[in-house]
């Protein structure tokens, strides 16, 4: 069966803005979108540029927008797309500048990964090797077992170690749309992966403190896109929520976001109602309040301003139970 | 021109492991790779990495299994290092952050692998390469290593017999760059793309080997190409040996576990060369199903499959349309691993002073005529680490040398010439023709006349390659021109493989000649060394195999 591929093209040397070019290709059973692009490139048009390597959904090279949705081209069947859309539209990832055609500049994405200290802290990796080589004839090395049970968990901690850095989440992230400096789901999932590692020895919580700064974990807008678009079934947003919990529990509450959360909990716990003014004041201080004024004013004009003092919650017993369940009794 | 103490070309496991070793010591080492490090093909490794940990296991047994697996062509001094340093290296990786699955006692869990007399393959579900690659990469970041990614290395530069750097093409902006160094490591991986139906990434085009032989460094034992017995029928994507390690069956069209005929004791867990030949024989004799046979894991049950082989399940669904919980997977042998490569000693040194290689691009040789599953990842870390240590030592006494800028000009001109060519041949199509020819005539079973036919085809393709036209004239991310250069590399490698295979008149490990079906120790217990003569023709020398502990015996399983 013949089908059409409509590829977004852009070469900064010759084009002022992106345009679309259409190609016709022949389908075969099992053909992936990546196969189609490779065929077009080798048979019709060598100028079409895209990244690819493993062709088996493990290297993270081939992420792009296919019919508007961020996916791995090597994992996407042509027939499925044609059934649904009748055509294959391919475009580069969002949230990153385009270098050419389907190739984006990933530098900012990778820089953000570097920022979260993506490695075990306080470890001496040679120790194991030296210990092994110090063994006497006939002696066996004993493996460290101290992290037995926690370690088992690590292979399942929201599956964050399975991240392939393909940038699907980053391309769809609402947080990055709003704030170019936001670290984004992949970097924060990695932050979680290392901060949950039982071998990690981050004595003063430096990684979590770093992640709590502006542009970090509190800038997530909870749009859930990262979970929805991850080709590996990972949920960065769940990891980020767990980081929120962890930082509050460890009293890393210097950022506006965490103050906001703590203040809401306290407001409800203490008075049985949500006091928006107090919460706003406690989260951002007087400057925060002033900075928020234009937004509040605009929201008010559209009739979208919440009541400044909410209704009293009738059944505090339930709330108490929930706080207890969440280990938040000290916030009451 | 850039200048560093060490240039590491390749950011797979071998390159990254060497980089960590150097950076830890504060040495100015730069990583150069044609893709971002985590896109390297090491990340695709699924099954496991071997080390003798168990009380009832021993590294000596790992040593012997590897020698036997290599069909006695592996160098025993090097294999001894591989096996004895394995446990320490794995523990070291673990303390760097790599995660392995645990056993009941809390130690590292281990699964059986083909040709190993004990379950000694450490794993992380079925994505151990991913785990190791990302773990090591994170350590490279920890030591703030400079990384030049999407730089395509085109030449090795020497000065008076000593290495002086490399030439690289910056894919992003089309500029050539000279990178001067006193030590250079090639950890450029394998050449799976020489064959159609292979398990390798599209970037595995044997560049490092091609560049090396052109620089006068011999390639060793190139005729030994591993065909993996279980690759998905339609795409060649790998189904890990770990599946058989977990207990999978191989079935022919009659529903029979045919391995009982070929390896009655080891059955499905015989070494890869044995299983691949058994499968191909079943297919050739009419007991296949549409050119494939079946891998059955249904009896493992949904739970075990989801826990231990989740990636395999997903790959079968996504790429073969088969859910292995309910149906057997159609598979066939596919080109997988390059046993041969750049000749090195067990510290990664080559014949050129200061020039090193490690990982799949190198031939130490620890795999001889056939690599055992789980030994290659081990090879990358053991010898990547050793090369790092040796380069650090070498730098202490290495003297200054001159980097000849003319080398940069030469490559630049070659690129420009190719770019301007208005030839009618398309390199993508030539590549498919080459791959198909190599699969058909220099594959699992080999025979003189067929291989001569392959040589003729290679000759024809070399002619036609002069006529390659390039569509893309731009400087920005021009992958058209990079692919054309990669094609020339696999064409050269294909010729080395074929000539070596014609030369070696015996059957050993993965090299099986139907016209010489027996191993011939009196004439062929030796390595082949390929080099280019003055006019670019391939010629061969031989070198001795190191035999220390284990005298060659018949190899049965
Ligand atoms: C699907 C699959 C599964 C496998 N499973 C296992 C397993 O379970 N156990 C096991 O032991 N082994 C396994 N192997 C084998 C093993 O994964 C590889 O042999 C090993 O990872 C190779 O690592 P490397 O570092 O040598 O090279 P690679 O990881 O291939 O890296 C090569 C690097 O070189 C760079 N490079 C290449 N050419 C150039 C150039 N011209 N310029 C610049 N850079 C260049 C690339 O960018 C890349 O970074 C498997 C292999 C495959 C294909
Ligand atoms: S090519 Fe590797 S993820 Fe698609």
Asked whether residue A331 is assigned to any structural domain, the reply reads no
The pLDDT of residue A138:
66
The pLDDT of residue A157:
59
Q: State whether A111 and A79 are in the same domain.
A: no
Both tokens of B73, joined, read 């062509």
Residues of A in contact with B39 (CB under 8 A): 51, 53-54, 59-61
Q: Where in chain B is the domain with CATH 3.90.700.10?
A: 232-333
In the 3-class helix/strand/coil scheme, how is B458-496 assigned residue by residue?
HHHHHHHHCCEECCCCCCCCCHHHHHHHHHHHHHHHHHH
Q: State whether A221 and A119 are in the same domain.
A: yes
Both tokens of B437, joined, read 């020819």
Q: What count of residues does chain B have? A: 557
CB within 6 Å of ligand 2 — which residues?
A 52-55, 57-62, 72, 74
Asked whether residue A310 is assigned to any structural domain, the reply reads yes
Q: State whether A232 and A99 are in the same domain.
A: no
The CATH number of the domain holding residue A238 is 1.10.1060.10
- In the listed set A104, A127, A148, which residue is the last one of a domain according to the structure? A104
Nearest chain A residue to B53 by CA: give it. Answer: A141
Q: State whether A150 and A263 are in the same domain.
A: no
CB within 6 Å of ligand 1 — which residues?
B 9-15, 32-35, 40-42, 44-49, 128-129, 152-153, 187-189, 199-200, 203-204, 207-208, 238, 240, 336-337, 359-361, 373-377, 380
Closest atom of ligand 1 to B152 CA is: 42
Residue located nearest, by CA, to atom 31 of ligand 1: B12
Indicate the pTM of the whole model.
0.95
The CATH number of the domain holding residue A7 is 3.10.20.30
B29 beta partners: B6
Q: State whether A145 and A67 are in the same domain.
A: no
Least confident of A65-69, A251-255, B230-234: A251-255
Strand order in the sheet with A69-72: A19-26, A2-9, A88-91, A63-66, A69-72
Q: State whether A277 and A179 are in the same domain.
A: no
Strand pairing report for A63-66 and A69-72: antiparallel
Q: State whether A129 and A88 are in the same domain.
A: no
The pLDDT of residue A320:
83
pLDDT cut 90: percent of chain A above it: 57
Contact call for residues B219 and A37 (beta carbons, < 8 A): no
Strand order in the sheet with B6-9: B146-149, B29-33, B6-9, B183-186, B355-357
User: Rounded to 5 degrees, what angle do the CA atoms B486, B492, B496 make?
Assistant: 140
The CA B360 to ligand 1 mean position distance, Å, reads 6
Q: State whether A74 and A8 are in the same domain.
A: yes
Q: State whether A16 and A34 are in the same domain.
A: yes
Strand segments, DSSP code E, in B54-172 are 110-111, 121-122, 146-149, 151-159, 162-170
Q: Do A61 and B480 touch (CB under 8 A)?
A: no
- In the listed set A209, A226, A249, which residue is the last one of a domain according to the structure? A249
- pLDDT, tens digit only, all 557 positions of chain B: 999 999 999 999 999 999 999 999 999 999 999 999 999 999 999 999 999 988 899 999 999 999 999 999 999 999 999 999 999 999 999 889 998 988 887 788 999 998 999 999 999 988 999 999 999 999 999 999 999 999 999 999 999 999 999 999 999 999 999 999 999 999 999 999 999 989 999 999 999 999 999 999 999 999 999 999 999 998 899 999 889 999 999 999 999 999 999 999 999 999 999 999 999 999 999 999 999 999 999 999 999 999 889 989 999 998 898 999 999 999 999 999 999 999 999 999 999 999 999 999 999 999 999 999 999 999 999 999 999 999 999 999 999 999 999 999 999 999 999 999 889 999 999 999 999 999 999 999 999 999 999 999 999 999 999 999 999 999 999 999 999 999 999 999 999 999 999 999 999 999 999 999 999 999 999 999 999 999 999 999 999 999 999 999 999 88
pLDDT > 80? residue A149: no
Q: Which residues span the domain enclosing A236?
A: 107-249
The pLDDT of residue A146:
47
Q: Where in chain B is the domain with CATH 1.20.58.100?
A: 421-530
The CA A296 to ligand 2 mean position distance, Å, reads 45
Q: State whether A111 and A226 are in the same domain.
A: yes
Q: Of the listed B23, B111, B244, B272, which one is catalytic?
A: B272
Asked whether residue A28 is assigned to any structural domain, the reply reads yes
Asked whether residue A137 is assigned to any structural domain, the reply reads yes
The pLDDT of residue B77:
97
Q: 1.10.150.530, 3.90.700.10, 3.40.50.10490, 3.40.190.10: which CATH number matches B232-333?
A: 3.90.700.10
pLDDT > 70? residue A304: yes
Both tokens of B385, joined, read 């680490």
Strand segments, DSSP code E, in chain A are 2-9, 19-26, 63-66, 69-72, 88-91, 98-100, 103-104
Asked whether residue A91 is assigned to any structural domain, the reply reads yes
Tell the residue number behind the tokens 């009748």, with chain if given. Answer: A86
pLDDT band at A228 (very low <50, low <70, confident <90, very high): very high
- In the listed set A249, A269, A291, which residue is the last one of a domain according to the structure? A249
Residue located nearest, by CA, to atom 1 of ligand 2: A55
pLDDT > 80? residue A135: no
The CA B144 to ligand 2 mean position distance, Å, reads 27
Q: State whether A146 and A168 are in the same domain.
A: yes
pLDDT band at A210 (very low <50, low <70, confident <90, very high): very high
Strand order in the sheet with B175-180: B2-3, B175-180, B162-170, B151-159
Q: State whether A243 and A280 are in the same domain.
A: no
pLDDT tens, position by position, A168-198: 999 999 999 999 999 999 999 999 999 888 7
Report the residue from B40, B428, B477 with minimal CB separation from A99. Answer: B477
DSSP codes, A75-99: GSBHHHHHHHHSSEEEE--SSS-EE
The pLDDT of residue B121:
96
**Average pLDDT of span A30-52:** 96
pLDDT band at A299 (very low <50, low <70, confident <90, very high): confident
pLDDT band at A141 (very low <50, low <70, confident <90, very high): low
**Average pLDDT of span A124-130:** 73
| B499 is known as an active-site residue | no
Q: What's the number of domains chain A is made of?
A: 3
> For B421-530, which CATH class?
mainly alpha
């Amino acid at each position: 069966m013949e089908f059409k591929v409509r590829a977004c093209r852009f070469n900064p040397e010759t084009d002022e803005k992106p345009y679309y070019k259409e190609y016709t290709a022949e389908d075969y059973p099992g053909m992936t979108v990546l196969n189609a692009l490779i065929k077009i490139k080798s048979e019709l048009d060598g100028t079409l540029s895209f990244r690819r390597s493993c062709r088996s959904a493990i290297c993270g090279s081939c992420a792009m927008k296919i019919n508007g949705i961020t996916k791995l081209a090597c994992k996407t069947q042509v027939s499925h797309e044609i059934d649904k859309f009748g055509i294959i539209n391919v475009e580069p990832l969002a949230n990153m500048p385009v270098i050419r055609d389907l190739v984006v500049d990933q530098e900012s994405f990778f820089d953000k990964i570097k920022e979260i200290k993506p490695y075990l802290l306080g470890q001496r990796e040679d120790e194991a090797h030296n210990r092994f080589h110090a063994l006497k004839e006939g002696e066996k090395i004993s493996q460290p077992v101290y992290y037995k049970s926690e370690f088992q968990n690590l292979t399942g901690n929201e599956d964050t170690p399975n991240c392939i850095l393909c940038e699907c989440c980053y391309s769809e992230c609402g947080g990055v749309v709003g704030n170019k400096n936001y670290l984004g789901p992949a970097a924060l999932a990695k932050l979680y992966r290392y901060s949950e590692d039982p071998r990690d020895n981050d004595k003063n919580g430096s990684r979590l403190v770093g992640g709590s700064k502006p542009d970090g974990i509190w800038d997530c807008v909870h749009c859930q896109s990262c979970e929805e678009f991850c080709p590996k079934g990972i949920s960065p947003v769940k990891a980020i929520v767990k980081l929120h919990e962890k930082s509050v529990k460890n009293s890393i509450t210097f950022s506006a976001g965490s103050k906001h959360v703590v203040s809401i909990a306290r407001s409800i716990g203490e008075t049985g109602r949500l006091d928006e003014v107090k919460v706003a004041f406690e989260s951002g201080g007087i400057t925060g309040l002033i900075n928020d004024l234009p937004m509040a004013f605009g929201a008010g004009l559209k009739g979208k301003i919440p009541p400044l003092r909410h209704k009293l919650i009738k059944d505090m017993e339930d709330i108490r139970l929930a706080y207890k369940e969440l280990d938040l009794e000290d916030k009451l | 021109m850039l200048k560093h103490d060490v240039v590491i070309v390749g950011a797979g496991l071998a390159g990254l492991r060497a980089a960590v070793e150097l950076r830890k010591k504060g040495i100015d080492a730069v990583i150069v790779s044609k893709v971002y490090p985590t896109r390297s093909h090491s990340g695709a490794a699924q099954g496991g990495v071997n080390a003798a940990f168990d009380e009832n296991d021993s590294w000596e047994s790992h040593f012997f299994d590897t020698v036997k697996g290599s069909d006695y062509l592996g160098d025993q001094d090097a294999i001894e290092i591989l096996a004895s340093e394995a446990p320490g290296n794995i523990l070291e990786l673990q303390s760097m952050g790599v995660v392995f699955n645990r056993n009941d006692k809390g130690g590292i869990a281990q699964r059986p692998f083909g040709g190993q007399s004990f379950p000694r393959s450490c794993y992380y579900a079925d994505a151990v390469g991913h785990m190791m690659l990302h773990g090591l990469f994170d350590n490279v970041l920890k030591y703030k290593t400079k990384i030049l990614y999407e730089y395509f290395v085109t030449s090795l530069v020497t000065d008076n017999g000593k290495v002086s750097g490399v030439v690289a093409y910056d894919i992003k902006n089309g500029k050539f760059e000279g990178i001067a160094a006193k030590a250079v490591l090639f950890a450029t991986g394998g050449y799976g793309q020489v064959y159609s139906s292979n398990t390798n990434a599209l970037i595995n085009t044997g560049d490092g080997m091609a560049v090396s032989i052109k620089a006068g460094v011999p390639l060793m034992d190139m005729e030994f190409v591993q065909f993996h017995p279980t690759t998905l029928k339609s795409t060649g994507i790998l189904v890990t040996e770990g599946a058989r390690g977990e207990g999978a069956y191989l079935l022919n069209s009659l529903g029979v576990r045919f391995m009982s005929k070929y390896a009655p004791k080891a059955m499905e867990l015989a070494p890869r060369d044995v299983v691949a030949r058994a499968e191909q024989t079943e297919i050739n004799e009419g007991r296949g199903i549409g050119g494939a046979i079946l891998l059955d894991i249904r009896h493992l049950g949904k739970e075990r499959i989801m826990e231990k082989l989740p990636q395999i399940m997903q790959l079968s669904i996504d790429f073969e349309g088969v859910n292995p919980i309910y149906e057997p997977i159609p598979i066939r042998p596919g080109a997988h691993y390059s046993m041969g490569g750049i000749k090195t000693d067990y510290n990664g040194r080559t014949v050129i002073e200061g020039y090193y290689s490690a990982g799949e691009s190198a031939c130490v040789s620890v795999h001889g005529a056939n690599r055992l599953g789980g030994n290659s990842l081990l090879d990358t870390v053991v010898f990547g680490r050793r090369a790092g240590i040796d380069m650090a030592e070498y730098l202490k006494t290495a003297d200054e040398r001159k980097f000849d800028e003319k080398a940069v000009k030469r490559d630049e001109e070659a690129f420009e010439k190719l770019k301007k060519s208005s030839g009618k041949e398309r390199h993508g199509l030539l590549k498919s023709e080459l791959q198909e020819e190599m699969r058909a005539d220099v594959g699992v079973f080999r025979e003189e006349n067929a291989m001569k036919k392959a040589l003729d085809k290679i000759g024809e393709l070399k002619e036609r390659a002069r006529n390659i036209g390039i569509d893309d004239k731009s400087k920005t991310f021009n992958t058209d021109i990079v692919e054309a250069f990669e094609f020339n590399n696999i064409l050269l490698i294909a010729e080395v493989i074929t000539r070596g295979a014609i030369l070696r008149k015996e059957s050993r490990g993965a090299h099986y000649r139907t016209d010489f079906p027996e191993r011939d120790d009196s004439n062929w217990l030796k390595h082949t060394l390929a080099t280019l003569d003055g006019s670019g023709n391939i010629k061969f020398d031989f070198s001795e195999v190191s035999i220390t502990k284990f005298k060659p015996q018949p190899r049965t399983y």
